[in-house]
């Protein structure tokens, strides 16, 4: 039975600090041992930077590697980067090859080379190869370790290898053995059934079947389709020349999809670069400001609409109460439409060319919701200020702006995607700027029109 | 080589409609065959409802099952639900046991029973058992199919089963064989190495090792920790009485995490119930309105602050231009902090008890970003309206409100979680209401204070 709710006691940070002070790496390990991996990482990240650096340097290499596998790669790179080259190389060698590449990929070239030059030459060359690939393509997600045999090997060889106590074998768990030709091109894949029903002296080329391969540059969305269409737990990845580059597991694809969803969700909130609170204040503040500053400009553009109607506002000051309400409510309606389109995009259910169909679907929702919200807010305005015409102006403005907001919200991610922009980061600000401007314009121009009845 | 960018031609919908009109299920299948699963689903969902129902009823059972495995479970339930009981049961039998339970779980009891009663009795009873579990616990994510043997079976039995041509074996791919006692309690797990190195006549009880089991009610966040701590591709799930209930795979956990991230991201945008545009307009509109109506109330509360300062507004109408800007900018800053906390929550790096530490970390960002944004907007207001005091009022209000917004944004998800509320759905509206109120109050009360200099 597993201990599922082990909670770090409040005294743990003090005990950790004492162990760090005493330079006792084994004691640090025994303090963290009862925790889950994410709890242990949390405790280490909550230490002050100098203590964290000391703790990582003192603890056993296996524990440091476990923490780094658990951490987002930017944090992993920081933790490895704080170690001396030899020790950092030892920690890197403990990591899975995908994690090695993710962590080293976050370092600058000089720092990366400092660690790579201290690693086992073969592993270092695997890492150098893997970091060349984009994070979200087969090359960036695959493991460089594959369970391979030459085509003239026999069934007996494979069975002996499967039965061997070789700890390296752990890495290949769930993989099918692949058969390579003399050039390193995968020409066959072996099934357990084939291995168990064949004679031990049979050549692998007699029992293998042709493998389905994936190109290194295949993108994540295509990989999802490929793993949907085939039930394999892992598939061989090949370079442009057909040579085996590594093996991609179904789990790695599922994990990359989860990570993509989380990053997208963060970008929609204006958070970039996988911010965690253990990062330096300067970086956190700067990254957030970059997005906010762009937003200020958009806000000024929207506000200039209000500025054009100062006379109307001065005459009917009650309008000022409802301006932020209309713009906020329309923004919310539009963001719902953005959310649905982003989801349909990630499920592959909608493409940029479907913009017209999406627009038609959203307009229907917009008309219904605009009517309901318009009546509601119109009644509120009427009751609050005792003027039915004011209710009409506010209600009509919100109704029209809701239709506009959901129409734009539904198609803006598709247009941005078509233009090669990031729909997650840009849809929200673009949408709210347009709906703010339109909302201010509708309220104020309708108020100008009905001015005699509002006074 | 796989065809990664097969794009459905523009004439496909017409061809599909013709095949549906001709009642030619095989032609429908051959039209969809070149597409990826998600492309095929998109084409089917884009049909009008009556055509979609006809297409599903006409197509081969395996194709219908494939589309349903690809679809979100609510859509899957709708597609199966449109079929006659016997045909629906045939389609359900083609699905993996987790998908069966997800789809049937979306139906009401009467409808579910109509299909279950037509299914193979054993499979139906598995489904009835699985739908009792929450979606996000081990019981809801596991597969009911396990690869099991009694303890007195021999190594030869297992090897023969592994080598057999039994198509059912496909379901167990990547699973280790489990050994059950007479009560159905898992008492051992077999490694391939153990099986290959033992004599064929040996009893399984001689070579098995004790399994690590998971309780059916274990929640997703705990499951992530368990699979982090162990490198197994699958683990046995047991009922409270210790009996084997099913097997949970690493991939199912990773996929559930991806789905959770996507749902959370949608809830943050005010979209509930996995909305897709192929759902009925009535449902889509109603669900979106429920959240928007709550938002109207919050907006009215915030706007009442403006109402209290109508005199100030009338005197200095320029203030009205900056009110929405200050509230929007603070909302954005606060949402960035919400985003980081939600991410740290999902990574297990922060807990509700860490609210104070989070608050301290956010205040530092708030002070820096508030100062920068306050100066920027202050200069804009000064330049625009030619009044330095106006710049001071607006800039100071935004600076103070930014500090407030990031402080609240950082801790609000933690407090909501502590109170057992959904932080994804409620953090945003709660945050913006508070920052709107505070923003309006700061701008208007500062303006009242500096009134002599603003006129």
Q: What is the pLDDT of residue B3?
A: 40
Query: What percent of chain A has a predicted confidence (pLDDT) above 70?
Result: 96
Is residue A7 predicted with pLDDT exceeding 50? no
Pairwise CB contact (< 8 Å): B340 & A276: yes
Query: Which pLDDT band, with edges at 50, 70 and 90, does A166 fall under?
Result: low
Which A residues 411-440 touch B at CB under 8 Å? Answer: 432, 436, 440
Q: What is the mean pLDDT of residues B106-122?
A: 93
Instruction: Looking at mean pLDDT, say which of A339-353, A390-404, A411-425, B30-44 comes out highest.
Output: A390-404
CA distance B263 to A346: 12
Note the pLDDT tens digit of each residue in B70-103: 898 888 999 999 999 999 999 999 998 889 999 9
B110 touches chain A (CB under 8 A): no
Least confident span in A155-164, B150-159, B206-215, B440-449: A155-164
Q: What is the pLDDT of residue B165?
A: 61
Mean pLDDT of B410-427: 92
pLDDT of residue A10: 64
Q: Say whether pLDDT at A236 is over 70.
A: yes
Taking contacts as CB-CB distances below 8 angstroms, the residues of chain A near B322 are: 303
Mean pLDDT of B340-369: 92
Q: Name the residue facing B321 among A218, A303, A333 (closest C-beta).
A: A303
- Contact by Cβ (8 Å): B74, B104: no
Residue B230's alpha-carbon distances to A1, B225, B233, B414, in angstroms, are: 13, 9, 9, 29
Q: Is B273 near chain A, with CB under 8 Å?
A: no
| pLDDT value of position B2 | 38
- Best A157, A336, A429 member to test B by mutation, with max B CBs in 10 Å, is A336
pLDDT in tens, B147-203: 899 988 999 998 888 877 655 545 555 678 899 999 999 999 988 778 888 898 999
CA atoms within 13 A on the CB side of A277: 35
pLDDT grade for B1, boundaries at 50, 70 and 90? very low
Termini Cα distance of chain B: 74
Domains and CATH numbers, chain B: 12-132 (1.25.60.10), 148-268 (3.10.580.10), 281-454 (1.10.357.20)
pLDDT top residue among B5 and B182? B182
Three-state SS for A43? helix
Rounded to an integer, what distance in angstroms lies between the CA atom of residue A204 and that of residue A155?
Answer: 6
C-alpha span between A401 and A240 (Å, rounded): 51
The confidence band for B230, taking pLDDT boundaries of 50, 70 and 90, is: confident
Model confidence over A333-360: pLDDT tens digits? 999 999 999 989 888 889 999 999 999 9
User: How far does CA A311 lie from the centroid of its chain?
Assistant: 48
Planar angle of CA A212, A215, A220, nearest 5 degrees: 100
- Distance (Å, whole) CA B1 – CA B286: 46
Integer Cα distance of B328 and B336 in angstroms: 13
* Chain B 213-232, residues with CB within 8 Å of chain A CB atoms: 213-215, 218, 222, 224-226, 228-229, 231
**What is the average per-residue pLDDT within B280-287?**
90
Q: A22 vs chain B: nearest CA distance in angstroms?
A: 26
């Amino acid at each position: 039975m597993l201990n599922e709710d082990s909670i770090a006691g409040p005294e743990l940070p003090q005990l950790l600090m004492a162990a760090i002070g005493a330079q006792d790496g084994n004691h640090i390990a025994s303090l963290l041992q009862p925790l889950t991996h994410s709890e242990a990482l949390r405790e280490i990240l909550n230490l002050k930077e100098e203590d964290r650096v000391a703790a990582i340097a003192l603890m056993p290499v296996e524990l440091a590697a476990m923490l780094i596998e658990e951490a987002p790669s930017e944090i992993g790179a920081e933790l490895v980067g704080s170690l001396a080259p030899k020790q950092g190389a030892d920690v890197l060698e403990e990591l899975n090859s995908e994690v090695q590449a993710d962590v080293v990929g976050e370092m600058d070239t000089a720092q990366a080379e400092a660690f790579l030059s201290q690693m086992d030459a073969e592993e270092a060359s695997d890492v150098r190869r893997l970091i060349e690939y984009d994070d979200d393509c087969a090359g960036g997600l695959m493991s460089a370790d594959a369970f391979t045999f030459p085509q003239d090997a026999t069934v007996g060889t494979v069975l002996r290898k499967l039965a061997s106590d070789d700890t390296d074998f752990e890495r290949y768990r769930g993989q099918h053995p692949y058969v390579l030709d003399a050039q390193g091109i995968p020409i066959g894949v072996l099934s357990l059934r084939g291995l168990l029903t064949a004679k031990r002296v049979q050549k692998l080329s007699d029992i293998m079947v042709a493998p389905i391969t994936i190109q290194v540059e295949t993108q994540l969305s295509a990989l999802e389709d490929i793993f949907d269409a085939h039930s394999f737990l892992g598939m061989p990845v090949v370079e442009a020349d057909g040579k085996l580059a590594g093996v991609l597991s179904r789990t790695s694809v599922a994990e990359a999809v989860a990570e993509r969803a989380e990053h997208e969700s963060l970008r929609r909130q204006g958070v970039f670069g996988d911010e965690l609170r253990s990062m330096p204040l300067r970086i956190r503040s700067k990254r957030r400001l970059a997005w906010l500053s762009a937003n200020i400009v958009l806000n000024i553009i929207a506000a200039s609409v209000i500025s054009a109607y100062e006379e109307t506002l001065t005459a009917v000051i009650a309008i000022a109460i409802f301006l932020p309400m209309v713009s906020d409510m329309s923004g919310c309606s539009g963001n719902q439409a953005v959310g649905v389109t982003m989801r349909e995009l990630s499920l592959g259910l909608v493409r940029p060319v479907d913009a017209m169909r999406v627009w038609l679907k959203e307009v229907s929702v917009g008309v219904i919701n605009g009517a309901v919200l318009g009546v509601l807010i119109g009644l509120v305005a009427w009751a609050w200020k005792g003027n039915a015409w004011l209710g009409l102006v506010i209600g009509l403005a919100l109704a029209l702006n809701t239709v506009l907001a959901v129409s734009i919200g539904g198609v803006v991610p598709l247009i941005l995607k078509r233009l090669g922009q990031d729909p997650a980061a840009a849809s929200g600000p673009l949408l709210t700027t347009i709906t703010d401007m339109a909302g201010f314009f509708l309220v104020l121009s309708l108020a100008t029109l009905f001015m005699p009845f509002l006074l």
